[in-house]
Structure formats: structure tokens, C-alpha cells
Structure 1
């Protein structure tokens, strides 16, 4: 019980080792040193090795999964926390690398054959998944174009994407699995028209800038690059309309990343790779358990007593 409580305070509530020790001494008059708390965390990490693999196996078979990555500080250096998740499972993986080398080592994407929702980081396209792009990112980028240039076409595209998602929710509530073909075709036609006009307008603007500055070439504007990307990746952007099991955005991955960022905000950084690895495995277990409706403390109690290192999730 004491071990589970100590791990709960440190890994779930991000209370430092010495303050956890102080808590037990103050509330329960128990002598639990900071070193003991660190050992409890290490034992729990060891006891969850097979559970981490079961999380990998479950995500490997997931029909729709989200992926994201975010910077984390380890011993003063920038590392990357990689996330794979769905509605039932979460896996965190800490690496010095951000690209395919880290994703390969994570052990899921090499053979993942489902639908992968992400934010257009190029490394994801190296994998043979069905790709879906996060429209929350698109809306934020389009809003940036509107704020900078008062671009009415960018604003129209924002409204079109938002309206399309509202239509999807309406038809899904009515029992459909995809948007009616005629409406989907109409939305795609308007999407094409807006982007072609926007790209033409932005091209003309860049040509005017080139002439004013007297240069052979000017750098593409952010708006131009965004419009061109939305045209090139139209299918991946609008795929949510043809299958209602596909989310409109990748906000689930961002929510799963939020607690790790909170950990860094409180602690500053991981002092070593070992500390980061222990956090990611335990946090993967706790996040998955919470998604499955399990009591977090009872789940940790099982973990600290899991001396045989048997999988604690997905075994039933």
C-alpha cells in the first residue's frame, strides 16, 4: 500500500521524491526516505515491462490511432517524447531522435496497417499506413493567415472545414457511417475552388513582391505553402467525411501529451534517461488504465505487486 501511494504521488501527481518522503513523515509518521521512493518507482517500472509490450501489441492492431511528438529535456538536452494512442491505449516513448529512427525503435509503425492521424510531420509518411491529417492544425494555420493578411479565402476555408465536421456529427448521430456522396462531392468542389483561387492570388502577390524588390525569385509565403499543401493532401485532409470512425483532428494525442508537458513544467527536466524511461512506461500504463475506466490507485497497487511481470491490461 505504501509503495503504491508513493508511486501515485510521484508519477501521477508529479510530487518530487523528497516531498513524498516528507508527506509520509508528516501525515503518517512513517520514515520513508527519498531513496526508498525512487526504488519504489524503479520496481514498478520493472514490473510493467510485459504490460508495456501488451500496450504495443494492442496499438499495433488498432484500426485508428493518433501519433504525435513533443520536445522534452533530459539532462539539459533536447529529447523527443513520441506518442501513439487510441481511445483505449497510450504508449509513450522517449528518444534523442525525432524522425524515423525513433519511430522504428518505438516498435509500432513499421508494421502498422491502420489509419494514422498526425500533424503532417514528414517522417510519418515513410510508413505504409492510411494517413489522415489533423484539421485542428489546419484551422490554426489558416487563422494565422487571416490574422496576418485578413485573407477572406482562408477564412472561407476555415468555415468550410468546420461546417463539414458539423455535418459529419449530424449524420453520424443519424446512424450513417459516412457523409452522403452528393454533399461530400459538393464540399470537395468548394474546397478545390477556394484553394485554387487562394493559391492564384498568393502567386500573384509573390510575383508583385519579386518585381518590387527587383529579384529573380522571392521566398514562398507561409500562406502559399499552406494552400499548396492543402491541395496536395486533399484526400488526407478530407478523409474524415468518408469514414466517421476517423476523427476530424489529432487532439486526443495532444491531450495525452499534455500531462507529460506538465511533468516537465514542474520538474524542469529528467535528470537522466533512466528517469525518463521509468516515467514513460508507468505513464503509459496509467493513461491506458484510466482510458479503460480503471481506478488509478488500484491499478498501481497491482503494478507494485506484479512480481511475476505479467501483463496487467488487455489479458481478459
Structure 2
């Protein structure tokens, strides 16, 4: 084989290796992008696949309650009626029995058998006012303004949908099984529409109170409408929560919901639109510590940084628990900024750690707002908890079908969540709204 043939073969082999190399690089980029969905600081632990869970090998005790655990026994109910259980003859020999020598009490709680639907005909009187000559129509709170199904049907179907998270066909089966009521999925959807209209005044009132809240916790997560990505936003306080679904995840949603007149403090994650909307922010320390912990597991130089951030957070929480006076709070705030600046100024070699430090710098003015403002929480856990049930509901629903379904979703989950926060009975409250 001459030299030119060898060169030709080597060039062909080199070209083949180059193409394979490009293909493998592209494949690696694709797999890293997919893996990033499950291995980042903002991914819930339940979605972090492929990670080895550390097992506590030191605790080899028996499962169940530990020694010294105080048990809780359900209290006995007060009987509504009594039934004497007696016998005339012995089941073994057939001899006639005398009077019982003792009675054993056994209290049983039971639900009634499925109740059939009650059908009521309302004869609604119409009058002519003798003064203004206008037609006057009599009303009854138990007779809905629209449709032929009563308030209890509307309320139960709505709670099955949004509190029990049942699909329309499961609600259809449940109503038929319990009451013999036959409804189509479309009819059930229309019942939820009527419930949404009934709570609209409550929805508008919650919005007005949210706009005037001194401290507001906000978070957002994805949801699909007609198969397209939208965002469900939660605006929450200790006493109420307001939800909207928008196609945008930007500052325009904050302006639309809160208006430019909003003067309160927002507790949030590091998403940029919040800082564009207001400078009165408290960044979430839970997000910060999760990300620093992830980095400490990947890079040795990030381990001291994570421990320092964790120690700073714990010391600030301890200092805030005793509710120090304003002058002491200012000193704590200044000291905390100096400590954080010290760790920012250190030299870091890893690119990901440098990026994390830049993130801390960008939010430097927002990490210690809770020190100067009593009542502000250092994490956004309150808004995340408000969204959690609707993340589960999102998995069941898959996608909202249209703008009408989106509006119903906003109205009802806002009312139900707020009533739940206040410890109110959602069935009772919804029935009252339907009757008004």
C-alpha cells in the first residue's frame, strides 16, 4: 500500500470520527438539558430521579410508634338512638334463656343509605306594583335563579370537582350512586360555572384586600390551557389567597393584579419580574439554601459557603424570635450584610459557584428585609403551600379546555382556599353564596 492510499484512508477515518464526535456532543447536550429538569435546586425532591437516598443505618428499631409516644383515641359519639340486642334461646342446645345478667354497650357510627333526589315544584308569583306599575317576581333562597338543579347539587358537584379533585365522569358516577341523579359531564361543568358566578363578589373582594396587603407572598407554576403553557399565580396572606391564570409569567401580570399603587412588601423567589415591579422585596432563603446545598454536594469550594449561609440564616431567625426593638434590628441587619459581603468577596474557581454568587449579589438588597420588618417571613413557603393542592389538581385535569373553564377555576379555587384558611366550612359557605 503506497503512502497516498494510507493518507486517504486516514482522512476518511478522521472524517468518520469527526462526525461521530459531533453527534455525541449533540447527544450529550440533549441529555444534560433533560437531566437539568430533575437535578437543580428548584426541583422538588419527589421529582429528583436517579439520586441515591441516604439510609439511616444507625436506627434499626422496630417500625411504628416509639416508646413514650402519647396515643390519641377517637372520642365516642353520643348515640342518637338505642337498640337492645336480645336472644330467646341458646343457639347450641335450644334452651329458653332467662333475663340477661348484663348488657355490653357498643356504639356504632353509620352513614345513612343513599338518599334519593327530592323534586320540588316552585310556583313563583308575579305581581304588578300598584305604585310604579313594574312587574315584581317573588323569590325563594332555595330556588336557584338559573337551571333546574338545586343549590345543594351545585355545591356538592363543585366540591367534588375542586376539593375532592374528581374528573367530571367520576362526579357523574358518584352522584348516580349516592342519589340516583343522572347528569352529563357537560351539565356538571355548567354547575361549576354557576358556582363560580355565585362566588364572583367574594373573588372581587379578595382582590381588593390583596391589593392593600402590607405583606404579600407570591409564587407561580405552570398550567396548560387548550394544551398551551400558561401560569397559575398565587397571591397569599395568612387569611386569604387570590389566584389568576395568565399566559404570561412577566411583570405585566403583577401590574394587572396589584396595580402600580401597591405599596406592600412582596416575599418571592428570585424571578426577575418581581424586582422590576417593586424594590420592597424579601427573597426566599429556602431557595437560596437549597441551591447552595446542591452546589456543596458537587464542588468542595461551595461547602463552606453553604455552611456559612445556613449558619447566618439560623442566627437571624433566632435573633428575630425575641422581637428586638428597631435600633437592634438595624444593627443585626448591618452585621448580616457584612457577613454576606465577606463570602461574596471570596474567590471561587467553579463557573456554577461564580454564577450562584452573582445571583446573591443581584438580590443583595432583598435578603434581609425580614430583619427590619416584623411579620415578614424569610421564605416563600406560604405561597408554595397555597399552590401545592393545585399542582395535584393540574396532574388530574391535564389541561383546562377554554377561557370559560379558566375563569371558573380562578373563581372557585380562590374562594375555597380562602375559606379553608379562615377555618370556614366550604360546603356551608358555598351554599350560602348560591342562595344569596
Q: TM-score, normalised by structure 2?
A: 0.61
User: Relative contact order, CA 8 A, sep 6+: which one is greater?
Assistant: 1
Q: 2:260 maps to which residue?
A: 110
Alpha-carbon deviation of 1:179?
5.4
Closer/same/farther in 2, CA of residues 286 and 177 from structure 1, 3 Å limit = farther
* Secondary structure of 2:287 counterpart: helix
Structure 2 CA distance, aligned partners of 1:179 and 1:289? 38
Q: 1:147 maps to which residue?
A: 297
Q: Does 1:266 align with 2:396?
A: yes
Structure 1 CA distance, aligned partners of 2:187 and 2:215? 40
Contact 1:179 1:241 in 2 (8 A): no
Q: 1:186 maps to which residue?
A: 335
| Residue ranges of structure 2 left out of the alignment (5+ in a row) | 1-151
The counterpart of 1:227, out of the listed 357, 360, 364, is: 357
**How many residues were matched structurally?**
284
Q: Does 1:82 align with 2:233?
A: yes
Q: 1:13 maps to which residue?
A: 164
Aligned Cα root-mean-square deviation (Å): 2.0
Structure 2 CA distance, aligned partners of 1:168 and 1:266? 43
Closer/same/farther in 2, CA of residues 23 and 52 from structure 1, 3 Å limit = same
Summarize the alignment of residues 55-74 of structure 1 with structure 2, pairs less than 5 Å apart: 55-74=206-225
Contact 1:72 1:79 in 2 (8 A): yes
Contact 1:66 1:250 in 2 (8 A): yes
The counterpart of 2:244, out of the listed 93, 110, 119, is: 93
Q: 2:433 maps to which residue?
A: 303
* Secondary structure of 2:216 counterpart: strand
Q: Which runs of 4+ in 1 moved over 6 A?
A: none
Structure 2 CA distance, aligned partners of 1:177 and 1:260? 39
Contact 1:178 1:243 in 2 (8 A): no
Summarize the alignment of residues 136-175 of structure 1 with structure 2, pairs less than 5 Å apart: 136-150=286-300, 151-172=302-323
Structure 2 CA distance, aligned partners of 1:247 and 1:178? 20
Q: 2:11 maps to which residue?
A: none
Alpha-carbon deviation of 1:33?
3.1
* Secondary structure of 1:15 counterpart: coil
Closer/same/farther in 2, CA of residues 51 and 132 from structure 1, 3 Å limit = same
Alpha-carbon deviation of 1:243?
2.0
Q: 2:135 maps to which residue?
A: none
Closer/same/farther in 2, CA of residues 263 and 302 from structure 1, 3 Å limit = same
Contact 1:11 1:283 in 2 (8 A): yes
Alpha-carbon deviation of 1:222?
2.8
Contact 1:143 1:154 in 2 (8 A): no
The counterpart of 2:375, out of the listed 227, 245, 248, is: 245
* Secondary structure of 2:244 counterpart: strand
Structure 2 CA distance, aligned partners of 1:114 and 1:193? 30
Alpha-carbon deviation of 1:164?
2.8
Q: 1:281 maps to which residue?
A: 411
Larger Rg: 2
* Secondary structure of 1:294 counterpart: coil
Alpha-carbon deviation of 1:186?
3.3
Alpha-carbon deviation of 1:257?
1.0
Structure 2 CA distance, aligned partners of 1:19 and 1:184? 54
Alpha-carbon deviation of 1:189?
2.4
Q: 1:213 maps to which residue?
A: none
Contact 2:296 2:306 in 1 (8 A): yes
Q: 1:130 maps to which residue?
A: 280
**1:77-116, CA deviations, whole angstroms, 9 ceiling, x for partnerless residues?**
11111121111111111111111233333x2142211001
**1:290-315, CA deviations, whole angstroms, 9 ceiling, x for partnerless residues?**
11221111122123324xxxxxxxxx
**1:248-296, CA deviations, whole angstroms, 9 ceiling, x for partnerless residues?**
1001111111111111111212122321221111101111111122111
Q: 2:114 maps to which residue?
A: none
Structure 1 CA distance, aligned partners of 2:280 and 2:334? 21
Structure 2 CA distance, aligned partners of 1:60 and 1:289? 19
Contact 2:266 2:282 in 1 (8 A): yes
